[in-house]
Amino acid sequence: MIVVMKRGASPEQIEHMIRRVEQLGLKAHPIYGTERTVIAAIGEKRDEFRQSLESGPGVAEIVPILAPYKVASREVKLDSTVVRVGSLVVGNCHLGVIAGPCSVENLEQTLTTARAVKAAGATALRGGAFKPRTSPYSFQGLKEEGLKLLAQASRETGLPTVSEVMTAENVELVARYVDVLQVGARNMQNFDLLREVGRIRKPVFLKRGLSATLEEFLAAAEYILAEGNSQVILCERGIRTFETATRNTLDLSVVPLIKELSHLPIVVDPSHATGKRSLVPPMAKAAIVAGAHGIMVEVHPDPEKALSDGPQSLTIPGFEKLMTEIKQINAFLGYEK
Amino acid sequence: MIVVMKRGASPEQIEHMIRRVEQLGLKAHPIYGTERTVIAAIGEKRDEFRQSLESGPGVAEIVPILAPYKVASREVKLDSTVVRVGSLVVGNCHLGVIAGPCSVENLEQTLTTARAVKAAGATALRGGAFKPRTSPYSFQGLKEEGLKLLAQASRETGLPTVSEVMTAENVELVARYVDVLQVGARNMQNFDLLREVGRIRKPVFLKRGLSATLEEFLAAAEYILAEGNSQVILCERGIRTFETATRNTLDLSVVPLIKELSHLPIVVDPSHATGKRSLVPPMAKAAIVAGAHGIMVEVHPDPEKALSDGPQSLTIPGFEKLMTEIKQINAFLGYEK
Amino acid sequence: MIVVMKRGASPEQIEHMIRRVEQLGLKAHPIYGTERTVIAAIGEKRDEFRQSLESGPGVAEIVPILAPYKVASREVKLDSTVVRVGSLVVGNCHLGVIAGPCSVENLEQTLTTARAVKAAGATALRGGAFKPRTSPYSFQGLKEEGLKLLAQASRETGLPTVSEVMTAENVELVARYVDVLQVGARNMQNFDLLREVGRIRKPVFLKRGLSATLEEFLAAAEYILAEGNSQVILCERGIRTFETATRNTLDLSVVPLIKELSHLPIVVDPSHATGKRSLVPPMAKAAIVAGAHGIMVEVHPDPEKALSDGPQSLTIPGFEKLMTEIKQINAFLGYEK
Amino acid sequence: MIVVMKRGASPEQIEHMIRRVEQLGLKAHPIYGTERTVIAAIGEKRDEFRQSLESGPGVAEIVPILAPYKVASREVKLDSTVVRVGSLVVGNCHLGVIAGPCSVENLEQTLTTARAVKAAGATALRGGAFKPRTSPYSFQGLKEEGLKLLAQASRETGLPTVSEVMTAENVELVARYVDVLQVGARNMQNFDLLREVGRIRKPVFLKRGLSATLEEFLAAAEYILAEGNSQVILCERGIRTFETATRNTLDLSVVPLIKELSHLPIVVDPSHATGKRSLVPPMAKAAIVAGAHGIMVEVHPDPEKALSDGPQSLTIPGFEKLMTEIKQINAFLGYEK
């Protein structure tokens, strides 16, 4: 870490900071520039002492050199992580397609969708039972009843399932019914939840927070990995910006960037990112070409009557058309499904 | 709610949407403009049917007229809510000053700070025992041990306490020791936690999320109010923007705006908003003049050795100086303490 | 436009606003809802009267129904605009590839790059002669001398050229040397410049501003179109968000969205959007699959010695590899070059 | 500047970068850390070589130590700049109040406003003659005719005037009529305009761009200062964020921060920042208490009939009330007017 002193810092302040660095067990390496002095602190234990040094007299700023994550880093594990659960294989050159309704509403809707997406080529079924909603007056999901319907659809189609868990308390309950536990964007820094899903032996589908930097996203994954669960799938689902023409702003550039920085697989959710049905197919295809290891898309047999996220849900024929195109792209890119 | 049809929407599509509005139990009121047709839907139950209608054929967009909150709204309750717990009185013309360390580190640090801020005029003591941290390798707080130290400092000084609760599961535990339960920025949309603190009989200090709109912030308060707990204090603590010169961007304009839209008290935290000690006093004073019902500031006897947030913590003399100025401003503004 | 009255608006205020709407030559259509009254104003002339009505007594907000652009809208012109200048054809099913150095530095660098990108399949040559730079102490471009070098490279290779014009005053000068005039992101709302390039008979390459909404972007194009120049190419080049891992955030979802809203061609610049060489090829390919009508990429024979934007410039072999992949994608997508 | 090498950088890459730094005339100072090597480059000429080094093999990132501005920095000039023109004195402990209509509409409106704001205590008159508008169909200002009306109002009241100049070409024209030339937010990085107003001998009122960082804002001021014009007034007028409840987000924390980093005076415009009349007085007062050297507010005799920005314009009685309060605050703060 680099301690940048202010231009006018006194020799005493510089001396003080050198001693502080050494008291923290680091090696201090001062460099006297033409306008400022900086002190390189070697042996750093990541973020740990940063704020402490930043409070020192005459200090302008601290520049960290190491990222706040380690196990998630490709520097530590060179080969790509592949997450496998039944027909869902995500990572390296494997592409997963997770499709299904935003919310599980009833048996018929869930089964109809599950069968249709399976037939079209999806490799996993999504469906929300616990729903985070901005307003307390919106539909909050069927809860355990929804999980049961999802599990039934899984048994009938053979598709593994992905569903959101909203609290540490419910991890065990959700894990009883579903194959992959989703941590939603609003919970990306719910650290108790992260630790709890880090302790189970099922894959975790971690969505990027609305205003999370890439570094915070990987640090959130690190919470799960640090507990011993290495089966983490990252998901870019759009960030919040000033632009309101789309529901969020899909930050697709993080796909190739995450592949450089981390060994974890990265999946894209164009449904939540765009919020508009017509934008989902082009962004799904763009995500795959950008290198995503999979996509998650919302599909509903009758979006106009969906209890949530109708405007961004593909119809079943719309999903079938997308899958035809994705298969062509995969063939073209040489991906295995 | 207003259903805006696309320019080229067909008479059949318009007719379809009128029927849809009526099927939802609303009264449809079509208006045929020079370029587009819009359908006003009267009798709306807030957000409920929005997405459903947005999915309809030929629909360009839905414009909601009502906000996603109701009990939090000043339209429903004209007189301002005042939250009182011991010496802390917040709301209407009462100003609360909540001061203390970012983290409770040990008895001496906690007691020293508590006595000093009490002497300087603070009306409540803050101190974190459960700490949300970006990296799993950063100090995570003393947990229950920290709550005990905080309670001891409260007994010795008579100051009521404010401390963060991070999960629904811990609400009971934290409530056993502290007077006001804080819901942190990262948990503003942790809906289970919101519901849980809505069920206790202690005031809740709700921090605005890093990327939460004002509407979402009030909708989060609504979750608590809807459970029956009317003692909610809102807190603006900076939002995330492109600007990195400060830790966050303090959105002070929401102070007078919240006072128009809601009856709930609004407090400002200039420590987290700016992240820089030197900016805390001017922004604390600005907040009060902008109409805030209080401030929350971090104070540490030796910020350079603080385990978290040292760079933004005031020293004890710094806090004393700020309190002298605040008292003058209060006298000037005619506030009661 | 919809005038939304406050919940407590008095009958007099409502009556006043109805009269105001009518005074402005619009037809007023009041709708009395369960909680609020709204007044639809029919015959609106876009933004014109919006602020005037918003100032009225008892008004909560004004909801515009029409966008601030008209000629740029697909509602007005259904068939897609195709811009053609020599080998550069952009729009509908034609894909343009504009490549070259960030800055024109000298004859050798310019010619080497021009020949290489031509050989690899580029259809136009880019090169900056007037450079907008954050600091007054950075390299500001070769100015007219740079334009001459660019023109020479164009003559030798037959590639049409794209170069930035920074002021209305210089439009004539730049137009003398280059085929397509670029308006940079920082000038997207330099309205005098927009009007001036609207008066020439050469195509304009309009980059989206760093914090411009899609609506403002199309309204900027409208300034050019309104002056009679219909040859406008839009360019998405990343917006400014909280994320600093990439130089900007590439907002790729606007590509299919612009194609719905406007008839103008939309090109993507992954070099400025990402700021990192390794991210340029995946995002260039993703842009094409998302439906972009072309890409603009920076190429330099020796990026390490480039006077600007070296870190995001492709090497010549890097560009050749990208073009091979793009040709395969084009064949796959059925695009004509 | 610090060259941070990648974790896996080879000895050859490190050696290469050391040589590159030395070729650029800087002194290279390598530091071999436990995980990475960094190379401090001493003698740096600010931004100049940054991108060049960033392109080198094995380089992870470049960390600049110096800001992209120098003359604007308080490190270079310790005493605060005070700008004086007639009754307008801004900087150090002098507070300027610049008030007037958004647009100059006609003689009566301009004179009425000028007399009223003068009587209430304003020290300068604002009024737009050249108006930047998002849509080409909105009112674009009276242009030179407007400047004449403004000059007439100035003669009658004795108030110095502030008005926007939108192009380098018009600097001379606007300077003929007005006392302080405003560079608007959309033109903050119109570098030709900055250079041109840098060459005149009148004060410049520089508004922060909608998405400009503090560093870019000061670098824009540096363009003016570098041309020899030291009379620059900075103006914070709100930045663009995800929040739409206010027109922009007033970033008040930059007021004390700019006072640390620069000697230039900083004024706040709460009218454009908030976009809502009722929020202007509290934010104007907050700005002054935060340490602003002045405020710019929009005032209109009949906001409901204003041709632009009516919703955020104070009425004359509203402005009078605000001035009464500001005088009390000034007395309280010990400011001279």
**C164/chain A closest Cα distance in angstroms:** 25
Indicate yes or no: CB of D289 within 8 angstroms of CB of B329.
yes
Higher pLDDT, A39 or A268: A268
Indicate yes or no: CB of B242 within 8 angstroms of CB of D213.
yes
| pLDDT confidence of residue B337 | 47
A-B C-beta contacts closer than 8 Å: 138
Q: What backbone torsions phi and psi does residue D124 show, to the nearest 5 degrees?
A: -155, 160
Please state at what angle helix A316-333 crosses helix A280-290, rounded to 10 degrees.
20
DSSP class of B219: H
CA B89 to chain centre: 17
Contact (CB, 8 A) for A104 and A138 = no
Predicted confidence band at C337 (pLDDT cuts at 50, 70, 90)?
very low
| pLDDT confidence of residue D46 | 55
Most confidently modeled range among B304-313, C108-117, D37-46: C108-117
A268 interaction partners in chain C (CB closer than 8 Å)? none
Beta strands in chain D (DSSP E): 2-5, 27-32, 37-42, 59-63, 83-85, 88-90, 96-100, 124-126, 161-164, 180-183, 204-207, 232-236, 266-268, 294-298
- The CA–CA distances, whole Å, from A69 to A216, A317, B135, B247, D209 equal 9, 42, 7, 20, 35
First to last CA, chain A: 43
Indicate yes or no: CB of C38 within 8 angstroms of CB of B2.
yes
Report the complex ipTM. 0.93
For residue D50, pLDDT over 80 is answered with no
> Helix H segments across B70-170?
107-120, 144-157
Chain D residues 169-208 with CB within 8 Å of chain C: 169, 186-187, 189-193
B34 interaction partners in chain C (CB closer than 8 Å)? 42-44
Chains contacting chain C through 3 or more C-beta pairs under 8 A = A, B, D
Q: What is the mean pLDDT of chain A?
A: 92
For residue A337, pLDDT over 50 is answered with no
For residue B49, pLDDT over 80 is answered with no
3-state secondary structure chain A: CEEEECCCCCHHHHHHHHHHHHHCCCEEEEEECCCCEEEEEECCCHHHHHHHHHCCCCEEEEECCCCCCCCCECCCCCCCCCEEECCEEEECCECEEEEECCECCCHHHHHHHHHHHHHHCCCEEECECCCCCCCCCCCCCCCHHHHHHHHHHHHHHCCCEEEECCCHHHHHHHHHHCCEEEECHHHCCCHHHHHHHHHCCCCEEEECCCCCCHHHHHHHHHHHHHCCCCCEEEEECCECCCCCCCCCECECCHHHHHHHHECCCEEECHHHHHCCHHHHHHHHHHHHHHCCCEEEEEECCCHHHCCCCHHHCECHHHHHHHHHHHHHHHHHHCCEC
Interface membership of D52 toward B (CB under 8 Å): no
Record the pTM: 0.93
Interface membership of A33 toward D (CB under 8 Å): yes
| % of chain B surpassing 70 pLDDT | 98
**Mean pLDDT calculated for residue range C244-251:** 96
Predicted confidence band at D330 (pLDDT cuts at 50, 70, 90)?
confident
The CA distance from B124 to B117, in Å, is 9
Residue of A nearest to B246 (CA): A61
Contact (CB, 8 A) for A190 and B133 = no
- Region of poorest pLDDT, from A48-57, A207-216, D285-294: A48-57
Pick the closest to residue D102 from D135, D142, D75 (CA basis).
Answer: D142
**C260/chain D closest Cα distance in angstroms:** 20
Nearest to A33 among D38, D42, D241 (CB): D42
| % of chain C surpassing 70 pLDDT | 98
| pLDDT confidence of residue D9 | 87
Nearest to C253 among A255, A260, A274 (CB): A274
Nearest to B33 among C34, C65, C240 (CB): C65
Predicted confidence band at C336 (pLDDT cuts at 50, 70, 90)?
low
The CA distance from A293 to A284, in Å, is 11
**Mean pLDDT calculated for residue range D13-20:** 90
Nearest to A136 among B57, B187, B223 (CB): B223
The CA distance from A69 to A73, in Å, is 7
**Mean pLDDT calculated for residue range C170-185:** 97
Predicted confidence band at D117 (pLDDT cuts at 50, 70, 90)?
very high
Pick the closest to residue D33 from D64, D55, D67, D3 (CA basis).
Answer: D3
The CA distance from C280 to A166, in Å, is 37
| pLDDT confidence of residue B310 | 84
B244 interaction partners in chain C (CB closer than 8 Å)? 244
**Mean pLDDT calculated for residue range B135-145:** 90
Interface membership of C73 toward A (CB under 8 Å): no
A282 interaction partners in chain C (CB closer than 8 Å)? 255-256, 289-291
Contact (CB, 8 A) for B223 and A136 = yes
Most confidently modeled range among A17-31, B64-78, B319-333, C65-79: B319-333
Q: For the beta carbon of residue D167, count every other beta carbon within 10 angstroms.
A: 22
Indicate yes or no: CB of B42 within 8 angstroms of CB of C65.
no
What token pair was written down for B239? 């939002």
Tell the burial category of A201 from Cβ atoms under 10 Å away from its Cβ (0-12, 13-18, 19+): exposed
**Mean pLDDT calculated for residue range D117-142:** 93
Higher pLDDT, C323 or A140: C323
Residue of A nearest to B309 (CA): A51
Hey, of A213, A253, A332, which one would you mutate to test binding to chain C, going by the most C CBs within 10 A of its CB?
A: A253
Interface membership of A286 toward C (CB under 8 Å): yes
Chains contacting chain D through 3 or more C-beta pairs under 8 A = A, B, C
| pLDDT confidence of residue A4 | 86
The CA distance from A205 to A98, in Å, is 11
C-D C-beta contacts closer than 8 Å: 137
**B251/chain D closest Cα distance in angstroms:** 6
The CA distance from D266 to D295, in Å, is 9
Tell the burial category of B320 from Cβ atoms under 10 Å away from its Cβ (0-12, 13-18, 19+): middle
Interface membership of D137 toward C (CB under 8 Å): yes
Chain B residues 247-276 with CB within 8 Å of chain A: none
Pick the closest to residue A83 from A252, A205, A199, A200 (CA basis).
Answer: A205
Contacts of A241 (CB under 8 A, 6+ apart): A248, A249, C239, C241, C249, C251, D242
For residue B324, pLDDT over 80 is answered with yes
Q: What is the mean pLDDT of chain D?
A: 92
A291 interaction partners in chain C (CB closer than 8 Å)? 282
A-C C-beta contacts closer than 8 Å: 115
CA C227 to chain centre: 17
Nearest to C192 among D69, D167, D191 (CB): D167
SS3 D272: helix
